Each structure stands twice: as C-alpha cells, then as structure tokens.
A and B are shown apart, each in its own frame.
Chain A
Amino acid sequence: MTTTTIAPEPAGPAAVRRRERPVPAPIPFGRIAGIELRKMFDTRSGFWLMASLVVLSLAATAATIIFVDADNLDYEGFASAWGIPMSVILPMIAVLAVTSEWSARSALTTFTLVPGRGRVIGAKAVVTALVGVAAIAVAALVGAVGYLGVATVMDLDPVWNLSFAELARVTLASEIGMFMGFMLGMLFRNSPAAIVAYFVYALVLPTVSSALASTNTWWAEHATWFDLNWATMNLYTEMTDKMWAQLGVAGLIWLIIPTLVGLRLVLRSEVK
C-alpha cells in the first residue's frame, strides 16, 4: 500500500466555524429570461443560426431587387421573399431552445441552478417569442431599406402595400410556427427527433390533408377547422371571424393540447 499524508482530524462541532448566512433572494424571472436569451447566442451554432436570420433577410431583399421587374416591385414582394426562410429557421430556433438542454445534457446544470423547471421553460418561451418578433422586424426593416434604396436609384414611386395589420398577421403566422417547434421540443426533448417531427408537422401532414381534400368533399370543406397549417395560411389573407375561430380550434388540437402534455413531461420527467 502506498503511503499518503494523513489528513488532519476534523475539528469538533464546537470548533466548526458557524457561518451566519442570510437566505439569498429568489432569482427574478427577468434574470432567467436574460440567461436563456444569452444561451441562444453563446455557442457557435446558436450564433450562426441567429446570424442566418439577418443574412437571409439581406439575401431575400437582394434577390427580390435582382429578379423582380421594376414595374412589379412592391413592398409585399419583399415581404413574401423573406417570409420563406423565416418560416424554416424560426421554428428550428424554437426547437433547439428546448432540446439543446437535453441533447447536450446541460439541463442537469440549468435545473440545479433553477429548480423551478416551469420558470426556465417560461423564460425560454418568452425569449423565443421575442426572437421571432425581432427577426420579423429586422427582415421588414432590411426589406424596406432595400426597397427604398432601389426606388431612389431607379427613380420609382415605392408601393407600401403591406399594412401594419398584415405585418402583424404574418408575425403571428411565424410565431405559430415557432410555437409548433417549441411544443415538439418539449414533447421529444431530443434535437433530431423534434426537428424531424417538425417537418412531419409542417410538410407531411399538410400534403396528406390536401390529398384527402382532393378526394373527400367533406374534408375539403371542413379541413380548416382541423388542419393547423391550412388555418395558419389564412393569416396571409384577410381574416374573417370564422377563420379566426378555425385557427383557434386547430390551434387547440395541434398546439395547446400537445403543449400541456409536453409541459407535464418537462416538469415531471427525470433529468439525467
């Protein structure tokens, strides 16, 4: 057996220095939200995912300027150009905001520093929603600046045919996509599984639904009540009260109920 120096005998209870410690203040929600926002940017992959939002809105604006005839150029054209990359990237950001904790297992640290898992998930939901709004705002701004630049250079009269209400609806459509990603992230707590599930949700189900609609007249008439993608697409048009109700029903089925299940899983399941 090798020899080791003998550690000194522990001091008796009387000699133990009693440290008077004030009970620390609870962690405010704003601080948790700040941390969660920082975590979205502080890895290389996270940073580039966020940067890609800016890069893509620049690219979409440039592409619109290059490929659309000057006569047909209007602001709505810019908006639909950046809308497509946004609708892909934003839900991914939402998925990863949740799943990266589990895939990288950093949840072990996160939930030992903030045991109220609901507060962490709430903070993630808030900052994810804010990122969505900020991304749309940046894209709208980049598009506007680009359009204004082109209009000045080519001496056009800019057509600002995107009302604030329309922009708000487009933002809501993006937020619904992010909500979907966030919910699937909570359900699966695994990045690849949740991303695949998102594409099933966003691409496969609508295809199945429209195939069904082409053969079944009842479904063709009523699908908007049950097909979230269909109901969400209406946001890009003028919304009637009925359309809002359809969006609500479809959202309840495809978003709210699975979110409750996902929340329960996140709050109760073992973190390993």
Chain B
Amino acid sequence: MIQIDALSKRYGGFTAVDDVTFTAEPGRVTGFLGPNGAGKSTTMRILVGLTDPSSGSAHLLGRHFSQLPNPGREVGVLLDASAQHGGRTGREILTLAARTMGLPKSRVAETLERVSLTEEEAGRRVRNYSLGMRQRLGIATALIGDPEVLILDEPANGLDPAGIRWMRDLLRGFADDGGTVLLSSHLLHEIEVIADDIVVIGNGHIVAQGTKQELLASGETYARTGDPTSLGRALQRAGYTAEITTEGAVRSDADLATVGQIAFDAGLVLTELRAADGAGLEEMFLQLTAETQRDHLQTPEREAA
C-alpha cells in the first residue's frame, strides 16, 4: 500500500511535482504514466526518502520510508538500473543487498535465476552489462528481500519484447500474491499491458487517474446502423461529436449507453455497438499531456524521468 498525499516539490521557482495525490492498492499494479520530465522520478525519489518534499507526505505500509527498520525486506526499489558501480559484478551487487538485508547467501543464486541471469552473466562486471541485463539485476535487487511493495522506475527500459512480457507476468504474480506494485513508464504500451490502475502525470500535475477500464472507457464509441447519417445528426443534436467512417459506421465521443439510447430514441436499429478501435491509452495520454507538455519544453530540471 502506497499513499501519496498532496505532495509537492519546488526547485526555486520551478515546481517539479505539484499537489500529487494517489494511492497504490495491494493486489494491483499501478502504472505511473507521463512524458519525460513530468515528475515521475521526483515523486518516486520522495517516496523512498532520497529527496525531501516541499510539502505533502508519502507513506508506505502506513509509515514513512525512513521509519522502515529494514526497508529492503518490505519495499523493493529500482530507481535507475544504471546507478551501480561498474566495477562490481552482478553477483556482488546482489550479495551486498542480500547481506544488508540479513538474508541467507542462497537467496542470491535463487534470485539470479528468478530474473534469468546466468551464472556466467552474474560473474561479469556491470559495466559490461546491456541495459536489459542491468534492469534484470535491478529487479533482482528489488525482489531479493521478498518485499510487500515494489517501486520500479522505468523498469522495462532496455528490455526486449520477451523481457517485457516476462516482467509483466512477474509483476502480475507479485500483485496476485497481495503485493503492491508502482511502476512508472513513459511508454504507453507497457503501462496498458501491465497496469490495473493508471495515474497519468504531466508537468507535475496528475491529469487523470483510475482503473485501466475506466480510463479506456473514456474513448470513443463505434456504432453501425442502417442510417448512419440520421444517427450522426441525432448525436450532434444531443451535443456529441459524430463522424461517419469510411466503412459507413458512426464514431462518437458519447459513451456506449448514450449512443444506444440516442439510437433507440431516434428509432434506429443498431447492428453493432462497441468501444471504437484506437481509443487506447495512447490517444488519451497524448491528449491529456499535449497542453501541459507544450508550456515548458525547457524545464530547469532536466531529469530523465
């Protein structure tokens, strides 16, 4: 369980995170979606106590991160897979984490296997790792303490499609076991595929949040009827958009029930009624962030969110 309340972070006159409030529930994967520099990484750093907030609070399992006696055993964190000393081997980095948490040595080999890093790869120095291997090692560090909460910043960066699928299954299993997962991404497809709940952030503000279904439902409706022109006019009279597609169907921003009701009232027979294709998160994401994104293309804090 992660609770973020009215969190703000200002750097001089620039507000990186502005009154962010959301909750990540146990048993669910919460996706934190936003373009680069939107404030995702800053929010996550505040969450784990690496950055002090200007105002507001962040709690994990009902406590502030610094109050966790042995954080690695309760909260698995991956903020930046490249932030490791390149001269250490993967196994060494994982061993350091295991020892800090007071875990048995055997856990290192088990966890390496869990993230599909081979013996040979684990013995290599991290400077020779690909980004995908670093991500696996970072996820291993987060998982090794068998935590209740996972906080992962852009964990799918550098993973190939098979790797992304592997991670999706892993996070799904973790959440199904009652764990809480918060992962950020600027890649919409990833979030759409992995997350149950989605929080969209743009320029420090939360611009939308809800379950994936809710957010996707705000897309358009696709309807087929014998007389598309009449249906389109009826929709427009009711104050909705309507356009006729090349295949002679009607596309509208009214939701399914409204389109059905309007068609019924107009005495039109619907032969098909469904959410329109392409009304995915991507459109919503671009729509939601377009305006906020344009204002501050040059932000003082050039963070690789």
Contact = CB atoms under 8 A, between A and B. Distances in A.
Contacts of B300: none
A31 B101 CA distance: 9
| Interface SS of chain A | loop
B102 A27 contact: yes
Nearest to B29: A10
Interface stretch (A66-74, A105-113, A126-134): A105-113
Contact of A115 (B71, B82, B96): B71
B70 interface: yes
Interface stretch (A15-23, A75-83, A211-219, A226-234): A15-23
A52 interface: no
B18 interface: no
B255 interface: no
Interface residues of A, number: 45
Interface in A88-107: 100, 104-107
Contacts of A13: 27
Contacts of B27: 10-11, 13, 16
B116 to A, nearest CB: 20
Contact of A114 (B79, B100, B194, B277): B100
Contacts of B100: 27, 31-32, 35, 113-114
B51 A105 contact: no
Contact of B70 (A25, A105, A106, A109): A25
Contacts of A19: 148, 177-178
Contacts of B84: 104-106, 109
Interface string B25-69: 011110000000000000001001111100000000000011011
Interface in A45-71: 45-46
B101 A113 contact: yes
Most chain B CB inside 10 Å of its own CB: which residue of A111, A115, A271: A115
B67 to A, nearest CB: 8
B178 A16 contact: yes
B77 to A, nearest CB: 4
Interface in A219-272: 268, 270-272
B184 interface: no
Contact of B88 (A7, A10, A24, A43): A43
Which of B86, B88, B278, B280 has most A Cβ within 10 Å?
B88
B69 A111 contact: no
B50 A24 contact: no
A7 B168 contact: yes
Contact of B148 (A7, A21, A108): A21
A27 B70 contact: yes
A27 B69 contact: yes
B192 to A, nearest CB: 9
B83 interface: yes
B206 interface: no
B97 A109 contact: yes
A39 B87 contact: no
A119 to B, nearest CB: 11
A34 interface: yes
A270 B177 contact: no
A112 B47 CA distance: 10
B141 interface: yes
B50 A112 contact: yes
Interface in B154-201: 168, 172, 175-178, 193-194, 196
Contacts of B69: 23-27
A4 interface: yes
Contacts of B121: none
Contacts of A43: 85, 87-88
Most chain B Cβ neighbours within 10 Å, of A8, A24, A45, A271: A24
A42 interface: yes
A19 to B, nearest CB: 5
Nearest to A39: B96
Given A10-B196, A21-B148, A270 B50 contact: yes
A99 B28 CA distance: 39
B66 A271 contact: no
Contact of B176 (A11, A31, A100, A270): A11
B99 interface: yes
Contacts of A39: 96
A34 B99 contact: yes
Contacts of B74: 21, 24
A240 B240 CA distance: 93
Contact of B48 (A45, A46, A112): A112
Contacts of A27: 69-70, 100-102
| Leading 4 A-B pairs by shortest Cβ distance | A43-B87, A105-B83, A16-B27, A104-B85
Interface of B: 26-29, 45, 48-52, 65-66, 68-74, 77, 79-80, 82-88, 92-93, 96-97, 99-102, 125, 141, 148, 168, 172, 175-178, 193-194, 196, 277-278, 280, 303
26 contacts: A7-B172, A10-B28, A10-B196, A17-B178, A19-B178, A24-B74, A31-B99, A31-B100, A31-B102, A34-B99, A42-B88, A42-B96, A43-B85, A104-B86, A105-B82, A105-B83, A105-B84, A106-B84, A107-B83, A108-B50, A109-B141, A112-B48, A113-B97, A114-B71, A271-B50, A272-B50
